[in-house]
Amino acid sequence: MLYEFNLNAVFVFGLIVAVTLWISFYLGRQAKSASGFFAAGGGIHWFVNGVAFAGDYLSAASFLGICGMIAFYGYDGFLYSIGYLAGWIVALFVVAEPLKRLGKYTFADALDAQFDSRGIKLMAAIATLVVSVFYLIPQMVGAGALVTPLFGLPHWVGVSMVGAIVVLIVVSAGMVSTTYVQFLKGSLLVVFSAVLTLMILARGFTVDDDPSSIEPQVVTVEADGDRLVNGVPQGRGTGETDLRPVGSVSKLPGGAKETGPVGPLEFFRVLQDSEVVLWKSETETNPDGSTVTTYSPQPTPGSEVLRPGNHPAFKGIRSDKFLDKLNFLSLMLALFCGTASLPHILIRYYTVKDQASARKSTIVGIGSIGFFYVLTLYLGLGAMTSGAMDVTNSNMAAPLLARSFNEWLFAIISAIAFTTVLGTVSGLIVASSGAVVHDLMSNFLKIEMHDSNKVRVAKIASVVVGVIAIVLGILFEKMNVNYLVGWAFSIAASANLPSLVMLLFWKGTTKQGITAAILVGMVSSLGWILLSADTFAKVYGYSAEDAAAAAVVPFSQPGIVTIPLGFLTLIVVSLLTKSRAPQAA
Amino acid sequence: MAGTDHGANQPVSAEEEAGTAQRMRYGLSLFAVYLLIYGGFVLLNTFAPDRVEATPLFGVNLAILYGFFLIIAAFVLALTYGWLCRKR
């Protein structure tokens, strides 16, 4: 679908970017020391930190990815919401206070607090960088997906803009500015998602009985890059045509044509007994190099839309094969264990003054994040029935839902989605620069640096990570952003959680055990992902059948194998090295 | 905002250590409760996906009701933990 240059959106976007940059430069003087740059001097109020948790965590994957997945496939996207939120229970009840007690700037500090091991520092830093890069990709992809409709600019321009702004935010005031940008973003996201949900409920459902709304649409991309829609050049000029927006209700209960306003539970009740038009796509490549994608309408009972198992990633739920079911179990385990292992989330525990503040801020975070995730189901289903979706791009479902109400709301939601990317990416860049400067250069390589030098090098590292994020965001343009985050969770949970948990609960843990567990967890989960059918299909470009044949591992989600493998490695290596190493207290 | 550095490994008193141990017990107990609820949801969806299509309350299916319950339960347990730890 083509998008028009939207002046309102540019205005709101510019305003929000200006505010975030003003915050960053205003706070810049508070990040002159390493403590200020990496941990905001430990002086952030717990409530601000709690909302900033939401701003940090509710990434493009949560807002754009989950809403898009629900809008295109129904309930399945909500499984991600549930898993993402459940992970905070591990963070609060198991990790939050010990991490605050043991650490200083980075996740490696906490792991290494009792050992002073260069091996732990090295492996923890590498794990931080790997997880952060995997997490950065979907954020940057989401940024590109947003800028296209906002400015009518190509994907790569959006990615580069976000990269440049985020680097400015981080370089100006490190964790201080990052925290307040995340606080602003978290507040705006939760409030405006609630507003959008109220508008969805007030609008209710209307049957779209225009026959053209259920006609198939065909997109041809010629070998030279020209795009045709239904055989006609895509565009808005004479002799050109564009894709129709999609997303409609084809039948309402009792043959009604519209419902009027509905209540929060009535919303699901009505949808349950309605029929919704979903869209299925099939792509063929011709000998001349052109690709033809046909989008076909699939009238689907609401009861099927509201049950799990429609999305390809969750098909295993309804499969008779045990391995397919394991794939789902594995994903839900990774989401549960992943949150408390994400380096950019963990470093937020160092920005408050004590353990009580760490605890209280996590509770605020759970409240804000949980409320938002409840809303995702309304937003996704609202988009599904809004008549405004781009059949070619699930990541745009939430902003286009807003456009179905009015252009100003579209502008605001798009700008908020943009800050969503800014907030999360800035947190990831701070975590990555901490890993490079504090863990690798200062602690592992033992490079002597004055405090001010440390900050300067951290800023250079931030620029480098920002450039890497831009390049990856451009390369991975076509991926659903939520899907990629699932990978980051699997790697984080496999590499980091076993060490964190065992350090706290098993006195036999040794430094060699921790080092080995991080290495094995990270390599095994990364290797599993790279050799999975999903990666062969979505990254290497294989057809579904060829990908299934080429895959080396039996299912795509690694967590159910690689998380226990991390624990097992730690236990075995710790037992083998027990007599030769100092033990954890 | 403070600009003071804050480090790890501050010396802790026996009373603080006892408080830490008590909070850890609370945390692990509540974690076990949530793990049961979450595990039940995941296993139900995995091995009895047709069951979650039932509409036991308000005409809303079990998949949605259980999902909302999980999110609300997380917040309630978090508040409970905060309340239990308020003086420790």
Residues of A in contact with B58 (CB under 8 A): 265, 269
Interchain CB contact of A109 with B (< 8 Å)? yes
The verdict on a CB contact (< 8 Å) between A41 and B45 is no
Looking at CA atoms only, how far is residue A575 from chain B in angstroms? 25
- Say whether pLDDT at A484 is over 80: no
Residue in chain B nearest A111 by alpha carbon = B8
Give the residue from B38, B79, B86, B88 with the most A CB atoms within 10 Å of its CB, the best one to mutate: B38
- According to the model, what pLDDT value does residue A585 have? 42
Query: For the domain with range A7-203+322-580, which CATH number is right: 3.30.70.20, 1.20.1730.10, 3.40.250.10, 1.10.357.10?
Result: 1.20.1730.10
* Residue written as token pair 């829609």: A229
Evaluate whether A314 touches A103 at the Cβ level (below 8 Å). Answer: no
Residue in chain B nearest A370 by alpha carbon = B71
- Say whether pLDDT at A50 is over 50: yes
Distance CA A435, CA A128 (A): 7
Helices A155-203 & A407-434 angle (0-180, nearest 10): 130
- According to the model, what pLDDT value does residue A2 have? 61
The verdict on a CB contact (< 8 Å) between A78 and B85 is no
Decide the pairing of beta strands A248-251 and A232-233: unpaired
- According to the model, what pLDDT value does residue A479 have? 67
Q: For A478-486, what is the mean pLDDT? A: 68
The verdict on a CB contact (< 8 Å) between A39 and B2 is no
Evaluate whether A517 touches A573 at the Cβ level (below 8 Å). Answer: yes
**DSSP summary character for residue A280:** E
- Say whether pLDDT at A210 is over 50: yes
The verdict on a CB contact (< 8 Å) between A33 and B5 is yes
Handedness of CA A312, A314, A319, A322 (dihedral sign): positive
> Comparing A5-19, A73-87, A258-272, which segment has the lowest mean pLDDT?
A5-19
What is the CA angle A327-A331-A333, rounded to 5?
Answer: 115
Chain A residues 142-171 with a CB less than 8 Å from chain B: none
- Say whether pLDDT at B88 is over 60: no
Residues of A in contact with B24 (CB under 8 A): 97-98
Looking at CA atoms only, how far is residue A212 from chain B in angstroms? 32
- According to the model, what pLDDT value does residue A378 have? 97
Looking at CA atoms only, how far is residue A308 from chain B in angstroms? 7
The verdict on a CB contact (< 8 Å) between A272 and B60 is yes
- Say whether pLDDT at A211 is over 50: yes
- According to the model, what pLDDT value does residue B4 have? 35
Evaluate whether A165 touches A21 at the Cβ level (below 8 Å). Answer: yes
% of chain A exceeding 70 in pLDDT: 96
Q: Tell me the longest C-alpha to C-alpha distance in chain A.
A: 81
Give Cα separations from A493 to A306, A433, A531, A532, B61 (angstroms): 29, 21, 18, 18, 31
Higher-pLDDT residue of A482 and B63 is B63
Residues of B in contact with A81 (CB under 8 A): 67, 71
- Say whether pLDDT at A201 is over 90: yes
The order of strands in the sheet holding A232-233 is A232-233, A227-229, A217-221, A291-301, A275-285, A248-251
Band of residue A103 on the pLDDT scale cut at 50, 70, 90: confident
Distance CA A360, CA A371 (A): 17
- According to the model, what pLDDT value does residue A1 have? 63
Q: What are the domain boundaries of chain B? A: 14-84
Helices A118-151 & A481-495 angle (0-180, nearest 10): 170
- According to the model, what pLDDT value does residue A35 have? 83
pLDDT in tens, A367-386: 999 999 999 999 999 999 99
- Say whether pLDDT at A409 is over 50: yes
pLDDT in tens, A341-361: 888 888 888 889 888 898 999
Q: Which of A35, A101, A308 lies nearest to residue B45, judging by beta carbons?
A: A308
How large is the ipTM? 0.87
Interchain CB contact of A313 with B (< 8 Å)? no
Nearest alpha carbon to residue A491 among A186, A235, A133, A180: A133
pLDDT in tens, A518-537: 999 999 999 999 999 888 88
Comma-separated ranges of CATH 1.20.1730.10 domains in chain A: 7-203+322-580
Evaluate whether A485 touches A132 at the Cβ level (below 8 Å). Answer: no
* Most confident of the following: A39-43, A491-495, A539-543: A491-495
pLDDT in tens, A144-189: 877 776 677 788 888 888 888 888 888 887 888 888 888 998 999 9
- According to the model, what pLDDT value does residue B6 have? 38
- φ/ψ region of A555 (left if φ > 0, alpha if ψ in -120 to 50, else beta) reads beta
Residues of B in contact with A360 (CB under 8 A): 82
**Contacts for A387 with CB less than 8 Å, ≥ 6 apart:** A208, A213, A245, A246, A247, A248, A404
pLDDT in tens, A283-341: 888 888 889 999 999 999 999 999 998 888 788 888 888 888 998 999 999 999 998 88
- Say whether pLDDT at A115 is over 90: no
A172 forms beta bridges with none
Backbone phi and psi for residue A117, each to the nearest 5 degrees, phi listed first: -110, 130
Give me the torsion for CA of A382, A384, A387, A388, rounded to 10°. 90
Residue type, A11: F
Give Cα separations from A375 to A70, A275, A371, A414, A539 (angstroms): 12, 22, 7, 17, 31
- According to the model, what pLDDT value does residue A481 have? 60
Letter string b/e over residues A68-87, b meaning 16 or more CB atoms within 10 A of that residue's CB: bbbbbbbbbbbbbbbbbbbb
- Say whether pLDDT at A583 is over 60: no
Band of residue A241 on the pLDDT scale cut at 50, 70, 90: confident
Distance CA A551, CA A14 (A): 45
pLDDT in tens, B7-62: 444 556 777 778 888 888 999 999 999 999 999 999 999 999 899 999 998 889 99
Distance CA A442, CA A126 (A): 14
